[in-house]
Structure 1
Amino acid sequence: MVGGYRRGADADGVSEAATKPFLVLQLRPEAEAADDEFGAILRKGGLAPEEVVRIRLDKNSIPAGLRLDDYSGVIVGGGPGCVSDAPDEKSPVEIRIEEAVLGLMPEITERDFPFLGCCYGIGVLGHHLGGDVSKERYSEPVGTSPCTLTQEGGSDPLLEGVPDAFLAFVGHKEALQSLPEGAAHLVASGPCPYQMIRHGRNVYATQFHPEADSDGFELRIRIYRNKGYFPPEDAERLIALCRASDVHMPERILKNFVVRYRCAAEA
């Protein structure tokens, strides 16, 4: 048992029995970026398509009556929205996406249900926990950030196999300004102190992108070049920077999450 959740996978992380799917919630309204992110989550997490239920929240609502007990865990991808923006700064789609994700957080945190929020997900979790999420400090331009494990991070099961120092892909306008009450601080960096946190035993969020690789970030740079993350004329320079960077360690977090929480389906 792991925090009340039974692990159903063998030593290689592949279950021989039927497993409950993971719920993957995507927030990107750009189809090409959403599809690439989804493919990366599958590859880096070691997930087969039949092991996930994918919902693109820009197009579809969370079904009424959705039961967390039907899933092994919840994975939330990134997106161009900011939870700290004022309502009049958000599009109707961004408002709908944010409300949908935040609507699940009370049950997830109350039950300590397996959750991994990537980039936008740390804003969602921090906001739900009453933390200070804003653009005041700690934004990071598109590129890589040198991250380090905290003492607590060094013993966390999701960071097993991750070295004390590693590079991660980042790019965000807002960030946690302080650690929410009751949260554990797992990963830090100089530009952005709160790169990964945990609430309870099973609810995680990262500011960096555990699913990202050079190909995926090149695509995002091209798609979001006019979204205010960087001067548009810097796009080719940033692509070259990402191409030259050796970023592989963060994906272990995604893989560890899947292996740890993959649950046997009920007969």
Structure 2
Amino acid sequence: MKPFLILQLRPERAVSDNEYEAILAKGGLEAQETIRVCLDHETLPDGLSLSDVAGVIVGGGPGCVSDPPESKDPVEARIEATILGLMPEITAHDIPFMGCCYGIGILGHHLGAPVGQDKYGEPVGPVLCEQTPDAEEDPLLKGLPQRFHALVGHKEAVEALPEGCVSLLSSAPCPFQMIRYGANVYATQFHPEADAEVFDFRIKAYGHKGYFAPHEVESILDACRMADVSVSGEVLRRFVARYRTGSDPAGDSAADQAQFRAEG
């Protein structure tokens, strides 16, 4: 079986490790099934060919592709250039891709869509996502509830649907919560790998990044703990299942689908 290439952007080692463990847990992956690259201090492996991986998963991070170039931290600028350097091959050959939060900005920017910080940013916490008509037959969403909660927290967002993409999920504050380009290139504005415990860790680590005021921490944590985000994690599990084996992940979990529909 081909490994999944997991690209991480977070310079805080403890947060990066926590995110990696969350991706493994929610995706149903073992560490030996992955190639992990922490782009804040590592480069892509020599000789890496995307044809040799089952798919690419990009984690989140504090950087924004919409920041003015002159204001970008050099490490964040290098990370951005590295991932953007992969996108032409990924989109041209429809290589399985799951961009989480930061990744939707990368995909949108690569495809020429406006990405900015003036319209659709969302505060840290749970948000209610809703399927669009195009989601009904998508293998990552088919059979899941029409509405479910996910965890978000982002300053920038895609401001118009990129050319060649379909919109799969939306929320009231942000119209593009999940998009797909071609058949296999996905990006989410929400964090499919995250649950309340993961966000608890990140909230405490990113208190100085301007996502929220210090006095808001406890109320944000309470909201995250109260939200059921199990369905959003199913999106990542299905992505891994689909490209690990080439089977239809929506067809392999009828009992889970019935449970999700009942709970939704």
Q: TM-score higher than 0.5 here?
A: yes
Is residue 66 of structure 1 aligned with residue 48 of structure 2?
A: yes
Aligned amino acid, residue 23 of structure 1: L
Task: Tell me how far apart the structure 1 counterparts of residues 222 and 199 of structure 2 sit (CA, whole Å).
Answer: 11
Task: Tell me how far apart the structure 1 counterparts of residues 136 and 66 of structure 2 sit (CA, whole Å).
Answer: 30
1:121 corresponds to: 103
Q: 2:183 aligns with which of 198, 201, 219?
A: 201
Question: For 2:209, what is the secondary structure of its paired residue?
Answer: coil
TM-score by length of 1: 0.90
2:9 corresponds to: 27
Question: For 1:60, what is the secondary structure of its paired residue?
Answer: coil
CA-CA distance at 1:162 after TM superposition: 2.1
Aligned amino acid, residue 208 of structure 2: N
Q: Which has the higher contact order (CA 8 A, sep 6+)?
A: 1
Question: For 2:227, what is the secondary structure of its paired residue?
Answer: coil
Which residues of structure 1 form unaligned runs of 5+?
1-18
Is residue 79 of structure 1 aligned with residue 56 of structure 2?
A: no
Q: Percent identity?
A: 57
Question: For 2:64, what is the secondary structure of its paired residue?
Answer: coil
CA-CA distance at 1:263 after TM superposition: 4.9
Q: 2:169 aligns with which of 168, 187, 194?
A: 187
Is residue 258 of structure 1 aligned with residue 240 of structure 2?
A: yes
2:255 corresponds to: none
Task: Tell me how far apart the structure 1 counterparts of residues 14 and 219 of structure 2 sit (CA, whole Å).
Answer: 22
Task: Tell me how far apart the structure 2 counterparts of residues 195 and 72 of structure 1 sit (CA, whole Å).
Answer: 24
CA-CA distance at 1:160 after TM superposition: 2.9
Question: For 1:209, what is the secondary structure of its paired residue?
Answer: coil
1:152 corresponds to: 134
Task: Provide Cα deviations, 1:219-239, integer angstroms capped at 9, x if missing partner.
Answer: 111011110111122112211
Which residues of structure 2 form unaligned runs of 5+?
247-264
Q: 2:92 aligns with which of 110, 115, 119?
A: 110
> How many residues matched?
246
Task: Tell me how far apart the structure 1 counterparts of residues 81 and 215 of structure 2 sit (CA, whole Å).
Answer: 34
Aligned amino acid, residue 88 of structure 1: E
TM-score by length of 2: 0.91
Question: For 1:261, what is the secondary structure of its paired residue?
Answer: helix
Question: For 1:69, what is the secondary structure of its paired residue?
Answer: helix
Q: 1:130 aligns with which of 112, 117, 122?
A: 112
CA RMSD of aligned residues (A): 1.0
The answer on whether the counterparts of 2:199 and 2:224 sit within 8 Å (CA) in structure 1 is yes
Question: For 1:146, what is the secondary structure of its paired residue?
Answer: strand
Task: Tell me how far apart the structure 2 counterparts of residues 228 and 191 of structure 1 sit (CA, whole Å).
Answer: 19
The answer on whether the counterparts of 2:130 and 2:146 sit within 8 Å (CA) in structure 1 is yes
Higher helix content, 1 or 2:
2
Task: Tell me how far apart the structure 2 counterparts of residues 107 and 244 of structure 1 sit (CA, whole Å).
Answer: 41
Write the mapping of 1:233-244 to structure 2, written as runs, cut at 5 A: 233-244=215-226
Is residue 37 of structure 1 aligned with residue 14 of structure 2?
A: no
Aligned amino acid, residue 107 of structure 1: E
Task: Provide Cα deviations, 1:194-230, integer angstroms capped at 9, x if missing partner.
Answer: 0000000000000000000000001111011110111
Task: Tell me how far apart the structure 1 counterparts of residues 115 and 47 of structure 2 sit (CA, whole Å).
Answer: 30
